[in-house]
Structure formats: structure tokens, C-alpha cells
Amino acid sequence: MKLVDLLDYTGQLLQVERFRDYCPNGLQVEGRAEIKTIVSGVSASMALLEAAESLGADLVLVHHGYFWKSEDQRIVGIKRSRLKFLLERNINLVGYHLPLDAHVELGNNARLGAMLGFEIEGWFGEQSVAAYGRLLQPMSLAELGLGISSALGREPLIIGDMQKTIRRIAWCSGAAQDFLREAVDCGVDAFLSGEVSEHTVHLARESGVAFIAAGHHATERYGVQALGEHLAQRFGIRHQYIEIPNPV
Ligand SMILES: [Zn+2]
């Protein structure tokens, strides 16, 4: 299919226009105009680009692309190597950041909730990217931790009373630990994000809302896979997700 049609469709699907973001959403590096194979991954690292090339990717689809607001604008060092790799091979790089966290079906938080048995009741936080709701089955914090560990293949860091019963929970993938304050206002028993900061621990202890850091990478694997699968089915193109392990 044509790259322009794919970008048009995906931009509308994810309502890209709705978001103020820290990076461009959509096409970040332009390659060939015809797309038969999409390779997806969480972050556009060199390891992902190399794996994508070996699978014959026309387009690499990621959650973490390039050109972040705070970064050095020069094309030097690692940035040069990555861009050179893509441009020499005519491979497109397409990234969706906040729109892919927030999408109500394909987004990271929607997928994460479905995997962990959380029913969504509403959205909160800046630009409504974070979700809150209830566990399909109430359980102790310790049991919840075990379930998360087996679902994500990574042991979470948990701050809170392990015997406490968790009925209501809020969650936001990635580095959303500072949404804990707003999660407390949602009246939940626990808040789950990817990363943790030193001050998060004190806030969790003092608010009585348990905090779970389940991994930035581990919580953001699922949106990009769901989007890649959706595009493959919709347009009859190939899609493969590549897991580049990351302990953070
Ligand atoms: Zn992220």
C-alpha cells in the first residue's frame, strides 16, 4: 500500500491532532513510498533497525522515535548513525508517542489494562492518557504483583502493604510516576506505572495508595504491537513485532 494512505489512516485513527507532544507523531524519517512489511518495536534503537532490515521492513513503527524536544538538534554521533542507516536503506521511521498511550482500544494503557484484568472506568492526567478502573477480581497487593510479574515477564517494584486488598486501580505506562498525585484523587487503592522516582516512594507511603513500577519498556510493548496488527489486518500487509529486551 501507499505510505501516504497508511499515514493518513493512522493519524486519524490515533487522533494525532488532539495531542501536544514532545516529539513529532507520524512520519519521522521518509523512506520508500510503497509499504508491504511493517516491523514494530518499542524504541527506534540501532538494534531494532538492524533487526527490521533483516526482515525486509519498508517501515519501522515505534512508540519511542527521534527528535525529542529537549535533545541536541545536530545530526551527530548516534543520531547520525541511526538516520544514515534508515536513509541509505530507504526505510521509513514512523513513531506515535502520546496518541499511542491514550488510544481507547489499541493504546498502551488499554492493552495493559486488558492484559492485567483491569476494567477501564475513565481517563485522567494531562491530556487524559492515564486510565482508572477496577480489577475484574479484587485481590491482595501481593497477588496482584504475582499476576503482573507473570503477565509482563518482569518482577515489578511494589511500595505498599502487601496484604492490602486492591479493588480499584489507576495506571499509566512509561515514566508516568508523577501521575500518582492525581491517581490518589481518583480514590484508587493502587497506581501502576513503568518507572519510579525516589520521591514516589514517600508519596505512596504517605497517601496509602500502593505504587507499582512494572517497567517502562514492559508496559509499553503492547500498543505498538496492537497497532501493527491492526494495520496488517486492515490493509493486508505484513507485520512483525521485535522485542529488544530492556530491563528498565
Ligand atoms: Zn515511553
Name which of 29, 26, 28 is nearest 5 in CA terms.
26
CA–centroid distance, residue 225 to ligand 1 (Å):
14
- List of E strands, the chain: 26-29, 37-43, 59-64, 92-95, 118-124, 130-140, 157-159, 165-172, 190-193, 210-213, 238-241
Confidence bin at 196 (pLDDT 50/70/90): very high
- Compute, in angstroms, the gap from residue 108 CA to the centroid of ligand 1: 10
Q: What is the pLDDT of residue 73?
A: 93
* Order of strands across the sheet that contains 190-193: 118-124, 130-140, 165-172, 190-193, 210-213, 157-159
Q: How far is the CA of 213 from the centre of ligand 1 (A)?
A: 13
pLDDT in tens, 73-105: 999 999 999 999 999 999 999 999 999 999 999
This prediction has a pTM of 0.96
Ligand 1 centroid, distance to 163 Cα (angstroms): 30
For the stretch 34-78, pLDDT in tens is 999 999 999 999 999 999 999 999 999 999 999 999 999 999 999
Q: pLDDT by residue (tens digit) across 218-245? A: 999 999 999 999 999 999 999 999 999 9
**Half-sphere exposure at residue 62, Cβ-oriented, CA atoms within 13 angstroms:** 26
The C-alpha cell at 87 is 536513509
